[in-house]
Amino acid sequence: MQDFNKSDKALDFEKGCVIDFDLKTGLSSVVDTGKRYLSQMKGMFYEDAAYRAMLGKKDELVYEFHGLKLPETSGDLAFGCSIVYPGKVGDEYFMTKGHFHTIMETAEVYYCLQGKGYMLLENPEGDWRALALEAGKAVYVPKRYAHRSINVSPDEQLITFFVFRADAGHDYGSIETKGYRKLMVERDGQPAVIDNPKWK
């Protein structure tokens, strides 16, 4: 199908545009992804010895995400795909760093395109939940909750499509400093939630 009266700009967020996202990979031919390798996840996993041993063998790609250069206004929407690869550090599943929004009163929606995983939610007061993600399910992340995508599949990527207000910003520093109160690990072949022994 062709577009009519299409803008000359590939990414025209003032007049409208179309961006492709592959349903099997989450990748786009128009927009590149930001990448987070294991070496960039220092302090995120609770088993430090397992982290160092794994990093010594290979600096694995843990996840990718789109960061479109949209106008950062409350009237615009940031969107893209998050792709978390299968893997574990010790018994802890591969995951995103997780973040609050700089504007705390910001919600976000994630729609799962592929894979199996969880969205771990936690607010500053300590309320938390881990909500299951699989293809065809959407998770609503409420305002004031940090959120982290976790891939619990041994062999499949966890691919989600996200949308939030474009001026919300990302606060990774709080997570890098304090961590999450809860972690998701494998126990007897199944996902389980435990207290984070490194939480500050």
Q: Does any domain span residue 58?
A: yes
Q: Are 165 and 74 in contact (CB under 8 A)?
A: yes
In the chain, % helix, strand, coil (3-state, to 5) comes to: 10, 40, 50
How many domains would you assign to the chain?
Answer: 1
Residue 33 structure tokens: 């992804």
Q: Does any domain span residue 18?
A: no
Q: Which helix (H) or strand (E) holds 33?
A: strand 33-37
Residue 31 structure tokens: 């927009």
| Interior/surface letters 81-102, b for 16+ CB within 10 angstroms, e for the rest | bbbbbbbbbbbbbbbbbbbbbe
Q: Which residues contact 173 (CB under 8 A, 6 or more apart)?
A: none
Q: Which of 61, 96, 88 is nearest to 186 (CA)?
A: 88
- pLDDT of the residue at 135: 97
Q: Are 178 and 199 in contact (CB under 8 A)?
A: yes
Q: Does any domain span residue 48?
A: yes
Q: Are 115 and 134 in contact (CB under 8 A)?
A: yes
Q: Does any domain span residue 122?
A: yes
The model's pTM = 0.95
Q: Does any domain span residue 22?
A: no
Q: Does any domain span residue 24?
A: no
Rounded to an integer, what distance in angstroms lies between the CA atom of residue 156 and that of residue 92?
16
- pLDDT of the residue at 117: 98
- pLDDT of the residue at 199: 87
**CATH number where 78 lies:** 2.60.120.10
Question: pLDDT (tens digit, 0 to 9) for every residue of the chain, 200 residues total?
Answer: 889 999 988 899 999 999 999 999 999 999 999 999 999 999 999 999 999 999 999 999 999 999 888 899 999 999 999 999 999 999 999 999 999 999 999 999 999 999 999 999 999 999 999 999 999 999 999 999 999 999 999 999 999 999 999 999 999 999 998 899 999 999 999 999 999 998 87
Give residue 39's domain range. 33-195
| Interior/surface letters 13-25, b for 16+ CB within 10 angstroms, e for the rest | eeeeeeeebeeee
Q: Does any domain span residue 148?
A: yes
Q: Which residues contact 143 (CB under 8 A, 6 or more apart)?
A: 101, 104, 105, 106, 107
Q: Does any domain span residue 90?
A: yes
